[in-house]
Amino acid sequence: MIWDRQELKSVIREKIGEHKFVVVSNREPYIHIYSAGGIKCITPASGMTTALDPVMTASGGTWVAAGMGEADREVVDAKDRVQVPPDAPAYTLRRVWLSREEANAFYYSYSNEGLWPLCHIVHVRPVFREKDWQVYTAVNRRFADVVLEEVGDDTAFVFIQDYHFALLSAMIKEKRPDIIVAQFWHIPWPNPEAFRVCPNAAEILDGLLGNDILGFHIRYDCLNFLDSVDRFLEVRIDRERLSAFKGGLETLVRPFPISVDFDRIEKIADSAAVSERVRAIRGDFRFKGRFLAVGIDRMDYTKGIVERFAAVDRFLEKYPEYVGKFVFLQLGPLSRIHIQRYKQYNDEIYHAMVDINERWGRSGWEPIVLQKVQLGLEEVVSYFRAADLCVVSSIHDGMNLVAKEFVAARTDDSGVLILSQFTGSSRELEQALLVNPLAADRFADAIKQGLEMTEAEKGERMRKMRETVRENNVYRWAGKIVNEMKKLL
């Protein structure tokens, strides 16, 4: 059976019925900002919100998130609620306000200077400060209060997102043990050796065991989590059932590989607007008559952007016949820019590009084009369709939805995906050309192999990958989680 929006809607209606459905995340799905014509609503660059929005549209519940847009306060009602999506309201967004100091300590520092590098093992040392931990705890408490207010006296399912809320489920359960709480951790979980450097390791694990269900992308992360629990807490673990028992509560730890809205991307890919854009991209003097490879990522050190530039450099060195004939286009928005390591990384990307272009460029041609921009889905899909190759070279990534979006966009059964073996997606997309992003030489060979692949082979690989993503789409991901929650009623 292929899951779609309608199917998910009916499962949610039938299974969740009269219970409230509340989703919690730090990042909000819609951000209001001031623009020349008044207030404009934009969507953030986040795999997490991209995946959850269709789920919420299907469920029609309440999404609790931090209000971050400069005009966010202008559009909410007296209870800080606003109906979204703006053009076809389907669910409620409840905004929580954090002061600048809170956002700095909770979001930038503890979550993104601490937990993010802790969980992605990419040799960036995590930073933990006691004062940030205090604020992280207080912000989790604030969100717990808001969730409880939204639930009121009703019965409810609460579905928490990500590493910003490691303590939230236990705080909810403390007051309302009857609420069914699930959490999805959208990033990897490290092995206990790596995890043990966190000064709040035990509290974090304890907090996460407030969940009835705790989801990760892949089984590997589930096992790492249970090993960490085993190392730090005195609780019973059942490795057969993949669960941990704390007090009277069993937390089921399960893999749920997240995905994309395949049908929606496919429709956009087949639209006239996209064909028009593809023509414009292919006609651009920088790309015209050349092989085009693209990478689309937030500018984040986990994404391996510098490493992919190094592979392009090595590719031109090893295969000089491609000099002047190949362009790598890197697109994507700046991210978490107040953090020192991200500032540095942006400089590294820029300098790597300048050095490589300096080395190889000649009049009218540069091998790397870098545009730090945030693109809408239609633009992303257009670049995917215009490209011969898509490169995803994360050094570590929970899933990586760019790879799945690329596959969904290739309704022409063509195009080649070069994919890091360190992404969750590589477990499903076996027909991609899998690479270790740190092995520049082999990575360079994969670029060559991709460019020289016959149409027949491209078609065969792409058709298989498309079947996989079509079937394992985001509705299936959500449907499976909802089914698990329902079993606990």
Please report, as a single letter, which amino acid is at residue 360: W
Assigned token pair, 406: 């690329």
- Residue nearer to ligand G6P on the CB measure, 128 or 287: 128
For position 162 contacting ligand G6P by CB under 6 A, the verdict is yes
- At closest approach, how far in Å is the CB of 351 from ligand G6P? 24
Phi, psi of 435 (to 5 degrees): -135, 155
**How many residues bind ligand G6P, per CB under 6 A?**
9
- At closest approach, how far in Å is the CB of 112 from ligand G6P? 6
Long-range CB contacts for residues 32-37, cutoff 8 Å, separation at least 24: 32/69, 32/70, 32/71, 32/72, 32/74, 32/75, 33/69, 33/70, 33/71, 34/70, 34/71
For position 48 contacting ligand G6P by CB under 6 A, the verdict is yes
Helical H runs in 233-376? Answer: 262-269, 272-283, 305-318, 340-360
Cα 470 from Cα 99, distance rounded (Å) = 42
Residue in 335, 346, 393, 472 binding ligand G6P, rule: CB under 6 A? 335
Cα 161 from Cα 329, distance rounded (Å) = 32
- At closest approach, how far in Å is the CB of 199 from ligand G6P? 22
Segment near ligand G6P (CB under 6 A); pick from 6-14, 46-54, 235-243, 407-415:
46-54
- At closest approach, how far in Å is the CB of 59 from ligand G6P? 19
Assigned token pair, 125: 């040392």
Cα 369 from Cα 276, distance rounded (Å) = 21
- At closest approach, how far in Å is the CB of 44 from ligand G6P? 6
- Residue nearer to ligand G6P on the CB measure, 52 or 429: 52
Segment near ligand G6P (CB under 6 A); pick from 1-9, 41-49, 287-295, 337-345:
41-49
For position 336 contacting ligand G6P by CB under 6 A, the verdict is yes
Residue in 94, 142, 186, 254 binding ligand G6P, rule: CB under 6 A? 186
- At closest approach, how far in Å is the CB of 184 from ligand G6P? 9
- Residue nearer to ligand G6P on the CB measure, 162 or 388: 162
For position 142 contacting ligand G6P by CB under 6 A, the verdict is no
- Residue nearer to ligand G6P on the CB measure, 107 or 443: 107
- At closest approach, how far in Å is the CB of 430 from ligand G6P? 23
**CB neighbours of 379 closer than 8 A, spacing ≥ 6?**
277
Segment near ligand G6P (CB under 6 A); pick from 13-21, 42-50, 128-136, 454-462:
42-50
Residue in 47, 61, 67, 215 binding ligand G6P, rule: CB under 6 A? 47
For position 187 contacting ligand G6P by CB under 6 A, the verdict is yes
Whether 26 and 165 have beta carbons less than 8 Å apart is answered as yes
Residues present in the chain in total: 489
DSSP state for residue 362 in the 8-state scheme: B
Nearest to 5 by CA among 181, 248, 261: 261
- Residue nearer to ligand G6P on the CB measure, 65 or 292: 65
What does DSSP say about strands 326-332 and 249-255: parallel, antiparallel, or unpaired?
A: unpaired
- Residue nearer to ligand G6P on the CB measure, 186 or 308: 186
- At closest approach, how far in Å is the CB of 350 from ligand G6P? 20
Cα 129 from Cα 111, distance rounded (Å) = 11
Give the chain's end-to-end CA distance (angstroms, integer): 25
- At closest approach, how far in Å is the CB of 241 from ligand G6P? 27
Residue in 22, 46, 143, 447 binding ligand G6P, rule: CB under 6 A? 46
- Residue nearer to ligand G6P on the CB measure, 27 or 396: 27
Report in angstroms the alpha-carbon separations of 43 from 21, 40, 53.
Answer: 22, 10, 10
Long-range CB contacts for residues 137-143, cutoff 8 Å, separation at least 24: 137/167, 138/102, 139/98, 139/102, 139/106, 140/165, 140/166, 140/167, 140/168, 140/171, 140/207, 141/167, 141/171, 142/96, 142/98, 143/24, 143/64, 143/96, 143/168
- At closest approach, how far in Å is the CB of 115 from ligand G6P? 10
Return the residues of window 16-35 that contact ligand G6P according to CB under 6 A: 27
By the criterion CB under 6 A, which residues form the site for ligand G6P? Answer: 27, 46-48, 162, 186-187, 335-336
